[in-house]
């Protein structure tokens, strides 16, 4: 059951959605960032996803002190469900996201809205700073292009292709010496701005079956419909990787294997929505995922037979079979070539 603490007018220029689960230790910094926003007209929607610590009390106090803060409480259903609850409740013209254990610029909302309105854009991405799980200083993660596009085709080719998966062309470039991740853009929704009218027109939501990379898939679905894009080269968000974050919690568990299957299904659904034009852009990702799954069979807490069953389920998919047959091989990566050849026999 979902309960909403609501003390806002019926409309706002921007909605900032922040999913929370047992975030009491980091919420004060996040709430301070919200209160420091220079945009005059916004709402911050905190979604308490069944927390068992002091998160609810902290949020209730913040909402009582600041009318821009709304609080939604629900039973624990995961980050995607929490973000979806925020989207259902949002009333802003533009949508932003943040995580409760991160910090962000006091100008994030104002600059995001200004960029969208100056360029008449449906979508905006900005640079950010990242700190690794081991600690240390934040480092700049710059944009890898000038993402100012006026057509949907340009957005798909210029930005979506950097987020959706690995294609044969990108693997061949890797064989030639280009780092495999060189073209990639991080898929976090916290470094993007969305037009709510477009989100609602196509009912773009997070896939609650996916535990990891769900935000990248949300971005890619949204990009199927965005007709123009802009960008901000300055970092507006501080993203801190944490030892107990989503990636760490997923490691060496059954969920790490089943997440690969859920991600495959999501990519296939988006490919179907795009008229079957996206298959090549993620075909090599299918092969990499299958290799990772095979390795995980020996490293997770999943019984061996169950792990093999999940690998066979993935490898038997027609899209994955075609991807295996088409995956480029090179003597420069002999171990990879042998592994792919083995998988071709395994999936036969």
pLDDT tens per residue, range 71-123: 999 999 999 999 999 999 999 999 999 999 999 999 999 999 999 999 999 99
pLDDT at 190: 98
Distance CA 265, CA 60 (A): 38
Are residues 58 and 153 located together in one domain of the fold? yes
Assign residue 72 the CATH number of its domain. Answer: 3.90.550.10
Angle (CA) 123 260 291, round 5°:
120
Are residues 198 and 299 located together in one domain of the fold? no
Give the residue from 243, 268, 300 where a domain finishes. 243
Residue 202 in tokens:
């196509």
Gap between the terminal Cα atoms of the chain: 46
Are residues 210 and 266 located together in one domain of the fold? no
Name residues of the chain where pLDDT drops below 50: 8
Are residues 11 and 147 located together in one domain of the fold? yes
The number of distinct structural domains making up the chain is 2
Are residues 192 and 341 located together in one domain of the fold? no
Are residues 204 and 272 located together in one domain of the fold? no
Give the residue from 243, 262, 282 where a domain finishes. 243
Give the residue from 243, 271, 292 where a domain finishes. 243
Are residues 120 and 14 located together in one domain of the fold? yes
Residue 290 in tokens:
């299958």
Are residues 216 and 303 located together in one domain of the fold? no
Let me know: does 237 contact 102? Beta carbons within 8 Å: yes
The range of the structural domain enclosing residue 88 comes to 3-243
Are residues 169 and 197 located together in one domain of the fold? yes
Are residues 81 and 36 located together in one domain of the fold? yes
Let me know: does 125 contact 184? Beta carbons within 8 Å: no
What residues contact residue 255 under an 8 Å CB cut-off, 6+ apart? 211
288-307 pLDDT tens trace: 999 999 999 888 778 899 99
Are residues 24 and 65 located together in one domain of the fold? yes
Are residues 59 and 122 located together in one domain of the fold? yes
């Amino acid at each position: 059951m979902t309960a909403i603490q609501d003390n806002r007018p019926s409309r706002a220029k921007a909605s900032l959605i922040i999913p929370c689960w047992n975030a009491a230790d980091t919420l004060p910094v996040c709430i301070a960032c919200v209160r420091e926003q220079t945009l005059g007209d916004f709402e911050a929607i905190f979604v308490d996803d069944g927390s068992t610590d002091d998160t609810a009390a902290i949020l209730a106090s913040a909402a009582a002190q600041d009318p821009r803060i709304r609080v939604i409480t629900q039973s624990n259903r995961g980050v995607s469900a929490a973000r979806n609850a925020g989207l259902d409740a949002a009333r802003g013209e533009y949508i932003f996201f943040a995580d409760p254990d991160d910090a962000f610029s006091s100008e994030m909302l104002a600059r995001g809205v200004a960029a969208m309105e100056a360029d008449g854009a449906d979508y905006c991405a900005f640079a950010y700073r990242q700190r690794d799980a081991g600690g240390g200083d934040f480092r700049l993660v710059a944009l890898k292009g000038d993402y100012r596009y006026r057509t949907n085709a340009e957005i798909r080719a210029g930005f979506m292709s950097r987020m959706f998966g690995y294609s044969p062309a990108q693997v061949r470039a890797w064989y030639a010496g280009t780092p495999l991740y060189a073209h990639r853009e991080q898929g976090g929704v916290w470094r993007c701005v969305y037009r709510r009218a477009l989100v609602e027109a196509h009912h773009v939501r997070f896939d609650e079956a996916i535990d990891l990379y769900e935000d990248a898939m949300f971005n890619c679905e949204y990009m199927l419909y965005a007709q123009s894009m802009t960008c901000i080269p300055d970092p507006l968000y501080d993203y801190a990787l944490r030892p107990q974050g989503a990636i760490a919690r997923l490691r060496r568990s059954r969920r790490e294997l089943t997440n690969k299957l859920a991600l495959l299904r999501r990519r296939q659904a988006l490919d179907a929505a795009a008229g079957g034009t996206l298959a090549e852009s993620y075909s090599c990702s299918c092969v990499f995922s299958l290799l990772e799954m095979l390795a995980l069979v020996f490293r997770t807490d999943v019984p061996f037979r169950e792990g093999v069953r999940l690998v066979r389920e993935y490898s038997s998919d027609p899209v994955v079979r075609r991807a295996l047959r088409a995956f480029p091989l090179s003597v420069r990566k002999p171990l990879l070539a042998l592994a792919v050849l083995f998988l071709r026999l395994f999936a036969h």
